[in-house]
Every structure is written in C-alpha cells, then in structure tokens.
Amino acid sequence: MAKQQQRIFAGAGVLALAGIIAKILSAVYRVPFQNIVGNQGFYVYQQVYPIYGIGMVMALSGWPLFISKMVAEQPTQAAKQLVARRLFWLLTGISVLIFVGIYFGANVIANAMNDALLAPEIKAVAWMFLFMPVLATSRGYTQGQFNMVPTAISQVIEQVVRVAVILGVAWFGMQQAWNAYQIGTWATFGATIAAVATGSYLLGSFRQIGPFQRQTKAATADLRWRVLGRRLWREGTLLAVLAALLVFLQLIDSFTIKGLLEQGGMASHVAETTKGVYDRGQPLVQLGMVVATGVGTALLPTLHAHFEAHEDAALKATFQTTLRITLIVSLLTPVGLIAIMPVINQFLFSSREGDSALMWYVTIIVPATLITVLASVLQSMNRTKGLITMIGVTLVLKYGLNNLLMPQFAIVGASVATMLALLPLLVYSMYQLPRPLWRGMFTWNWWFRVVGMLMAMMVVAIGVRMLGDQIFGLGRGASILTTILAAGSGAIVGVALLLRLKILNEQELLALPKGEKLVVLMKGKSDAIR
C-alpha cells in the first residue's frame, strides 16, 4: 500500500510538472503569434480558439479523469479493459456528433460570431474532435492504473507540435502574403496535426484496452452501457465543464463582442482589431493561473488522504494552508500585472492599447483560481451537488452582462462581465464546504496586513514604472527594461512584507517552492526586530 501511494504521489508530481510546461507553452506562443500576424490576425485565431480549447480540455483532463476513476474502481484487469473499451465507444459516438455539428454547422456558427469568413477555420478545428476518444481513453486507462507518464509526455508532445505548427504557419503565411483568415485556418488545423502526433505516441496504451475486441456482456450491472452512459453524462460532464470554464466564457466573448462593438457604431475592421486587443488578456491570465493553481493544488493529494482517513484536524489544517496560499498567490499576481500593465502590454504586444480592459481582465485570476482549487477539494470530498447548475448560471450571467455593459464600456465592460459572472460560482463553492473547515482561518487583522502588503507593492511598482517611462522613454525596447525594474521592485516589496507581517506562517511557507529559504528569511527578520 505504501509503495502504491508513493507511486501515486510521484505520478501526480510528473503530471503536474507536464501540465505546467504545457500551460506555459499554450500561453507564451500567443505573444510571438500576435507580433507576427497583428491584432486582426490574432482576432481571427482567437475567435475560434475556444472551440479547440473545449475539445482539448475534454481530451486532456475532463474525460481522462472520469475514465481513470472508472478504471481504478474495477477489481480485475479484464474489467478495467472492458470499462475503458465501452467508454471509448461511447466517446466515439459523442465525438462524431460534435464533429458533424461543428463541421456542417460552420457557416451558422461563423454567422453567429458576426463573421462569415470564419467558416473555413471552424471546419479546420472540427477534425480534432475525431481524435478525442483515442486520446482521452488512452490517458484515462493508464492514469487509472496509476501510470501518469504517458499522459504527461503526451501533453507536452501535443503542445510542442501545435505551437510549432502555429508559429510556422504564421511566419510562412506572412511571407506568402496570405490574409488573416488563411493564416487562421491553417494555424487552427495545427490542433489536428498535434492530435495525430499525440495519438501516435499513445497508440501502445490504446492497444492495451483491446478496442476492437468482440464486446462481451458486462460482468456486473455497473458496467452496462446504460449505467456507463449515465455516469459519463453526470460525472464526466461535470469534470470536463469545470476544467473548461474559462474557455466557455471566452466562447461567449467570441459570439458577442464583435457584434456588440459594431452595434455601438464601430466599423467591422476596427471591431476585429479591438477584439484582438481584448484577447491579449488570455495569455496573461493563463500564465498568472499557472503559478497560483500549481501552488494551490500541490497539497490536494494530501488533503484527499486526510479526508479518506477521517483525520479531521489534519484535514482542516491542510485545507486552510492550501486556501491561504492560493489566495495570497492569486492576489499578488493580478495586483502586480495591473501595476505594470502599460509597459508589459507594450513589451509583449508592441502597443499600450486596451490597458484598462486588460487591467480588469487579469482580475479574474483571483476568482478563477479559487474556483479551480475549491472545486477540486469538493470533488475529493464528493460534495459536487449543484456545481453544474451554477456553471450554467455563470455562463448565462456572462452573456447577459456582456450585453448590459458593453454598449457603454466596450471591451472594459466585457472584462468586468467576466469577473462578475464568476463571483456567484465562487460563493457557492465556498458555501458547499463544511463550516468547520473555515473556522479560524481569517481574521480582520490578517486581512488588514494583506491589504497593506498589496497596496505597498502596487504603489512601488507603479512608481518605478512611471519613473522608467520618464527616464527610458516610451519605446518598446525601453518598456522591456521598465517592466523588469518595476516588476522586480514590486516583487521584492511584496515578499519582504509577506515575511515581515507574517501573513503566511512557517508551515505555509514550507509548502511553497524554496519555502525553507523563506522561513530562514522570516526568522532572520524577527530576530533583527528583537
């Protein structure tokens, strides 16, 4: 048992590392891509990206998590293969339906996005869905047997191939004077090429389930087609939708922003470039969440182990450590980004357009990160009732708030709409957790110290940023130097006050990467004060 537990934790570490690498790649490539193709080219790509994003999440985390759970529940190897085989065929039916709906409905979807020229790109992304059953089943089957390596490696392969294709297409297309829609179509098709490469790597894992063996009768009632289909819908859908929540919100933006900007009197071309500016916020949020969710979810296996063992005191301590760390990191990230937004915007994307909208957009790092961590805790405690309904409420709110706020505030309104739409889901997730877990976690004095730290960090970073603009100028090269100085100054002040004010205790600091050094620093400061 100890060996198996050690294997699970080691596998979780490998998977988490691969996930961080893949997320960084997924966020970072958009910067050179936008620099190559410009705001309109970025708009064209980003309009259809959420469709890919939903499929990717289903094939990478949503469905594989459900399949791994089902496989792990089975007592024999034959039952594990049978459940994986049947889920593969169920997913194949779903994937074919999705492909048909997207491919043959491409014109309808493009018109709903207020841009008929997007239809070829939408057709290009549809092909990826045909590979989802192989990817999801292979990953889920190996994870269910506590082997995380195939999923981890396949995740990195998928992102490396896709990013290489996208950037290669962008460069080649600009050399050949392709228009933005041609580049967008071939860049989007990179997802299918990546799926082929990933599927080739996972073929060995896929063969283990014997997908084309003659279907036998289920050994137990739990493995009947109807039961599996019902569980796939109830549990698998929840996992997939939770993982893809931000992508669904981006999809609503794809359907609403351009049309609402045009209704406000903006010319079509200007609306497209404005949406491209708004989309700059997505890689910033992705990168911001990589750190916060990575730190916040590191303790979840320990939390689940305490829950299974009914160790209430240890469960409460680990939960409070997890949440306080998540909250602090998720607050520091957007505050830092807001303070230096004008220069980081120019440094990464070559202009300071849309600063206000991007400042509002990065605030979603806080609720989105907390929802991700809290939902994982709720899943580990089997308390997910009502979450799928609240996700539906979030999406409806986002659509309604876009329509309410954008006529007056344009893309700033769209950013605020995303933040406000996430709040009810955050409150509900907090409410679903047992009350004793929250007891004694926060005090007014603690909140006062946190606010003081954030304000000091922001004032210093803004001051250095403004001084840098005066000394080095407003050019792109100058913005790189100003970004480094302002971000570094703010980070130093933030960490110093975090330790000086003892916002995190010694146990919480030790849970952070290089936490031992932070503890030494904190103790050194305390000794100096005495």
Which pLDDT tens digit goes with each residue over 113-124?
988 999 999 999
Exposed e or buried b per residue across 158-180, where buried means at least 16 C-beta atoms within 10 angstroms of its C-beta? bbbbbbbbbbebbeebeeeebeb
User: Which of 74, 81, 61 lies closest to 18, judged by CA?
Assistant: 61
Placement of tokens 């130097």 in the chain:
481
Structure tokens at 91: 């997913």
Best-predicted range by mean pLDDT among 96-110, 207-221, 322-336?
96-110
Residue 529: pLDDT over 50: no
pLDDT digits (tens, 9 = 90+) for 337-388: 999 999 998 888 888 888 999 999 999 999 999 998 888 788 777 788 888 8
Type of residue numbered 85: R
Residues 51-67 have a mean pLDDT of 79
Alpha-carbon 60 to chain mean position:
12
Q: How confident is the model at residue 38 (pLDDT cuts 50, 70, 90)?
A: confident
User: For residue 447, what are the CA distances in angstroms to 2, 161, 443, 444?
Assistant: 40, 45, 6, 5
Q: Which range (105-114, 168-177, 320-329) has the least confidence? A: 320-329
Percent of the residues in the chain that have a pLDDT greater than 90, as a whole number: 36
Residue 530: pLDDT over 50: no
Q: How confident is the model at residue 319 (pLDDT cuts 50, 70, 90)?
A: confident
Angle of helix 77-104 relative to helix 132-144, nearest 10 degrees, comes to: 150
Global pTM reads 0.85
Contact 144, 71 (CB under 8 A): yes
CA dihedral 483, 488, 494, 496 (to 10 degrees): -170
Type of residue numbered 495: V
pLDDT digits (tens, 9 = 90+) for 409-425: 999 999 999 999 999 99
User: Which of 114, 155, 359 lies closest to 261, judged by CA?
Assistant: 114
Residue 215: pLDDT over 70: no
CB neighbours of 60 closer than 8 A, spacing ≥ 6? Answer: 135, 136, 139, 151, 155, 158
Angle of helix 365-380 relative to helix 281-297, nearest 10 degrees, comes to: 40
Question: Terminal CA-to-CA distance of the chain, rounded, Å?
Answer: 48
Residues 77-82 have a mean pLDDT of 82
Q: Would you state the pLDDT for residue 213?
A: 66
Residue 525: pLDDT over 60: no
Residue 380: half-sphere exposure toward Cβ, Cα within 13 Å = 22
Cα torsion 451, 454, 457, 460: sign: negative
Contact 224, 218 (CB under 8 A): yes
Residue 430: how many other CB atoms lie within 10 Å: 14
CB neighbours of 300 closer than 8 A, spacing ≥ 6? Answer: 322, 373, 376, 377, 380
User: For residue 256, what are the CA distances in angstroms to 84, 339, 481?
Assistant: 39, 29, 37
CB neighbours of 505 closer than 8 A, spacing ≥ 6? Answer: none
Residue 511: pLDDT over 60: yes
| 363 burial level (CB within 10 Å; 0-12, 13-18, 19+) | buried
Residues 215-223 have a mean pLDDT of 59
Q: How confident is the model at residue 512 (pLDDT cuts 50, 70, 90)?
A: low
Structure-model confidence comparison of residues 247 and 144, the more confident one: 247
**Ordered DSSP codes for 42-56:** HHHHHHHHHHHHHHH
Structure-model confidence comparison of residues 291 and 463, the more confident one: 463
Distance in angstroms (rounded) separating the CA atoms of residues 438 and 76: 40
Q: How confident is the model at residue 252 (pLDDT cuts 50, 70, 90)?
A: very high
Q: Would you state the pLDDT for residue 219?
A: 56
Best-predicted range by mean pLDDT among 168-172, 204-208, 473-477?
168-172
Residue 106: pLDDT over 90: yes
Q: Would you state the pLDDT for residue 11?
A: 54
User: Which of 402, 447, 395, 451 lies closest to 424, judged by CA?
Assistant: 395
Distance in angstroms (rounded) separating the CA atoms of residues 163 and 185: 14
| 329 burial level (CB within 10 Å; 0-12, 13-18, 19+) | buried
Q: Across the chain, what does the average pLDDT equal?
A: 84
Q: Would you state the pLDDT for residue 28?
A: 80
Residues 124-139 have a mean pLDDT of 90
Residues 235-249 have a mean pLDDT of 81
* Own/partner long-range contacts of 261-265 (Cβ < 8 Å, ≥24 apart): 261/406, 261/410, 261/411, 262/114, 263/407, 264/406, 264/407, 264/410
Residue 395: pLDDT over 90: yes
Q: Where are the domains of the chain?
A: 1-210+227-243, 445-529
Best-predicted range by mean pLDDT among 51-60, 161-170, 197-206, 306-315?
161-170
Q: How confident is the model at residue 528 (pLDDT cuts 50, 70, 90)?
A: very low
Structure-model confidence comparison of residues 479 and 61, the more confident one: 479
Structure tokens at 41: 């080219």
Residues 32-50 have a mean pLDDT of 89
Residues 191-217 have a mean pLDDT of 80
Residues 58-63 have a mean pLDDT of 74
CB neighbours of 271 closer than 8 A, spacing ≥ 6? Answer: 257, 258, 261, 262
The angle subtended at Cα 17 by Cα 14 and Cα 18, nearest 5°, is 85
Distance in angstroms (rounded) separating the CA atoms of residues 436 and 111: 51
Q: Would you state the pLDDT for residue 220?
A: 59
CB neighbours of 488 closer than 8 A, spacing ≥ 6? Answer: none
